[in-house]
Chains A and B, each alone.
Chain A
Amino acid sequence: MLVKEMMRKPVTVIEVGATIGEADQLLQSRGFRHLPVVDQGRLVGILTDRDIRFTTSSLCPTPRSGTDSVTLAMSSPPLTADPLDPVEDAARIMREHKIGCLPVLDGGDLVGILTGMDLLDALMTLTGVTKPSSRLEVALMDQPGELARLTTLLANRRVNIHSILTYPTPDATVRTVLRVDSNQIRPLAEELRGAGFTVLWPLPKSSQLHLTSKPWQP
């Protein structure tokens, strides 16, 4: 997933000649929190609603008024991203610098903006349910072929996989979360257990909750 897929465009900007009051009006009317400041189309800074509130507050050592220039309140130069950066790289920059957005530059042109909200959208797209599905959570051994063994078993049962998410855990296994197109997740989990997989969810049926019957299919 690349920055260009998740960024907002076109970008609403403000000119360097504008006042802090005008910037505030613009942010309020659009419901934005981040405003790139441009000088003849070239990005020169970023102004946030928090910058405006602080700079016009009596708590600010050098308080500004609404008629002052935006350049007196903006952060400059801003950190930026490239449209072809993976979203996780953009997320890392934003996290490390504790900033809320990254203007996206392509050859000096401002082509989009990526905010923390867009990263939440990315997270939801990566993990979320967009189609009816069940969630399967498996702890795979961290070695070649394990994921293939898992997906092969699903493929053989004609179970379509909507999404796979993996992340390392401290106990050196790879936590693998799948959203699969199947209403029959419990029988599938039992089959995976039978094939030697460590299935974390669904849990095995509590042993108390069994009737003394053989399974449905004779």
Chain B
Amino acid sequence: MATLIHRLEYAGYDFGPEHPFTPARLAMLLDLIRSLGHAAPTVAAPAATREDILSVHDEAFVEMVEALDRGEARLEAGRFGLGTQDNPIFPGMDLAGRWLAGGALHGARLLMEGADTRVLQLGGGLHHAQKDRAAGFCLYNDLAVAIRAMVDHGWRVAYLDIDLHHGDGVQNLFYDQDRVLTLSLHETGHYLYPGTGHIHELGTGAARGLSLNIPLEPFTESESYLEAFEAVVPRALEQFAPHVLVVQAGADAHFADPLGDLALTTQAFESLYRRILGLATEHTQGRVLFTLGGGYEAQVVARVWTILYLTLMDLPIPEALPEAWLARWEHLLGPEVGHTLHDPVPAYPEFPGREERSRRNRDVVDRLLDSLLRYWF
């Protein structure tokens, strides 16, 4: 069982009709969960306060967001990553960002109070937001706000990022903090946004060895991904002994995602979720806070995150998608759509280079572990 955090205001985090990070993703998800016969009651969390946001962001940045939000023209907006193709300015964006940060923060509080051990925030996961700038669709770093609160509570926090992209914002915000372990699996930044997340980014000062990155080859498939996960994540958690796990559960590592080239199937996501819950049982007394994240293919995100929800709630995973749901969302799903919750098996025809990619991923993991040995023992 898990507590679900969501409120309708999350739909206000909307960069406009041309933008891939659309709130329709959340609407489709909730509708799918409920169409499967689950009431899925949600907790409506309060918005994060300005002070909460300032626990991880610079005041100059927050002031810029507020000014632009009021409709003021500011030439320096671009310097704060605002008014770009990725982060257009929209009315109400300050509050929209604070709703999402408030949700993650509320989830953290439920864990700290011991009210629940599993929390799923249906939204957020804005892992690219930096101390002093918006980036990559992310305004306020909801994950970092929640992590900060739990660190202040005296906890050691392990952050696990399975989004397609490197979790650079969270990594940078805690790069020198020895009470936060950041772990990110992502498609290599040699080409893909944000260009970071290399194995040599290991943290600094007392936190050396507490920033871990597993950059994977483009077109990495499920088996190789899970192998890399297994080689690093359990050992890292064993070493760090966290009180809580925070998971950015982006769904854009799916093979059909239009923004990237990792090639996970829905079955791989399910395995990953179950493994993460197992690791939480093993290392954090089951305490885990999940947020959503990236994921830009209409036929994929609702299915992947519904599997996440069902897994967290210990519910069985049905085979078929409800016809009524398919009909309601046909305008986004398209006319030719699968009718199952999981991908078909096999999900796609084999394509060449699998062995080579897996070997390269193993090399990367070995290099990472070699460089970590001196900090771990």
Question: Cβ of B195: which chain A residues have Cβ within 8 Å of it?
Answer: 129, 132-135, 179
Question: Cβ of A172: which chain B residues have Cβ within 8 Å of it?
Answer: none
Question: Cβ of B78: which chain A residues have Cβ within 8 Å of it?
Answer: 160
Of the candidates B193, B218, B259, B335, the one whose C-beta lies within 8 Å of that of A132 is B193
Say yes or no: B218 contacts A212, CB within 8 Å: no
Q: Given A132-B195, A211-B338, are A186 and B259 neighbors across the interface (CB < 8 Å)?
A: yes
Question: Cβ of B136: which chain A residues have Cβ within 8 Å of it?
Answer: 132, 183
Segment 88-138 of A: residues with Cβ below 8 Å from B: 129, 132-135, 137
A205 to B192, CA, bound (A): 13
Say yes or no: A206 contacts B351, CB within 8 Å: yes
Question: Cβ of A218: which chain B residues have Cβ within 8 Å of it?
Answer: 331-332
Q: Which residue of B lies closest to A218 (CB)?
A: B331
Say yes or no: B336 contacts A212, CB within 8 Å: yes
Q: Given A133-B193, A158-B84, A183-B136, are A210 and B256 neighbors across the interface (CB < 8 Å)?
A: yes
Q: Which residue of B lies closest to A211 (CB)?
A: B256
Q: How many residues of A contact B (CB 8 A)?
A: 34
Say yes or no: B86 contacts A203, CB within 8 Å: no
Contact with A along B243-278 (1 / 0, CB 8 A): 000000000000110111101000000000000000
Instruction: Please tell me if B202 contacts chain A, counting CB pairs below 8 Å.
Output: no
Question: Cβ of A159: which chain B residues have Cβ within 8 Å of it?
Answer: 84-85
Question: Cβ of A137: which chain B residues have Cβ within 8 Å of it?
Answer: 191
Instruction: Please tell me if B333 contacts chain A, counting CB pairs below 8 Å.
Output: yes
Question: Cβ of B81: which chain A residues have Cβ within 8 Å of it?
Answer: 181
Question: Cβ of A212: which chain B residues have Cβ within 8 Å of it?
Answer: 336-338
Say yes or no: B349 contacts A205, CB within 8 Å: no
Instruction: Please tell me if B101 contacts chain A, counting CB pairs below 8 Å.
Output: no
Q: Given A183-B137, A185-B193, are A216 and B258 neighbors across the interface (CB < 8 Å)?
A: yes
Q: Given A209-B255, A211-B299, are A157 and B336 neighbors across the interface (CB < 8 Å)?
A: no
A158 to B337, CA, bound (A): 33
Binding site secondary structure of chain B:
loop
Question: Cβ of B335: which chain A residues have Cβ within 8 Å of it?
Answer: 214
A207 to B57, CA, bound (A): 42
A203 to B349, CA, bound (A): 18
Contact with B along A48-80 (1 / 0, CB 8 A): 000000000000000000000000000000000
Question: Cβ of B333: which chain A residues have Cβ within 8 Å of it?
Answer: 213
B252 to chain A, nearest CB (A): 10
A136 to chain B, nearest CB (A): 8
Q: What is the size category of the interface that chain B forms with chain A? A: 35 or more
A59 to chain B, nearest CB (A): 35
Instruction: Please tell me if A40 contacts chain B, counting CB pairs below 8 Å.
Output: no
Question: Cβ of B259: which chain A residues have Cβ within 8 Å of it?
Answer: 183-187
Q: Which residue of A lies closest to B18 (CB)?
A: A217
Contact with A along B217-242 (1 / 0, CB 8 A): 01100000000000000000000000
Of the candidates B165, B255, B338, B349, the one whose C-beta lies within 8 Å of that of A183 is B165
Instruction: Please tell me if A21 contacts chain B, counting CB pairs below 8 Å.
Output: no
Instruction: Please tell me if A208 contacts chain B, counting CB pairs below 8 Å.
Output: yes
Contact with B along A187-218 (1 / 0, CB 8 A): 10000000000000111011011111111111
Instruction: Please tell me if A176 contacts chain B, counting CB pairs below 8 Å.
Output: no
A215 to B299, CA, bound (A): 10
Segment 170-192 of B: residues with Cβ below 8 Å from A: 189-192
Say yes or no: A202 contacts B196, CB within 8 Å: no
Say yes or no: B334 contacts A213, CB within 8 Å: yes
Q: Given A160-B78, A181-B84, are A133 and B299 neighbors across the interface (CB < 8 Å)?
A: no
Q: Given A132-B194, A208-B351, A218-B332, are A183 and B18 neighbors across the interface (CB < 8 Å)?
A: no
Of the candidates A179, A186, A201, A216, the one whose C-beta lies within 8 Å of that of B260 is A186
Seed contacts A134-B194, A213-B333, A214-B336; 5 additional CB < 8 Å A-B pairs: A132-B196, A182-B86, A183-B128, A206-B219, A213-B297
By a beta-carbon cutoff of 8 Å, the part of chain A in contact with chain B is: 129, 132-135, 137, 157-160, 179, 181-187, 201-203, 205-206, 208-218
Q: What are 30 A-B pairs with beta-carbon distances under 8 A?
A: A132-B193, A132-B195, A134-B193, A134-B194, A137-B191, A181-B84, A181-B85, A181-B86, A182-B86, A183-B136, A183-B193, A184-B86, A186-B260, A187-B20, A201-B191, A202-B261, A208-B348, A208-B350, A208-B351, A209-B348, A211-B297, A211-B338, A213-B297, A214-B334, A214-B335, A214-B336, A215-B258, A216-B20, A216-B258, A216-B297
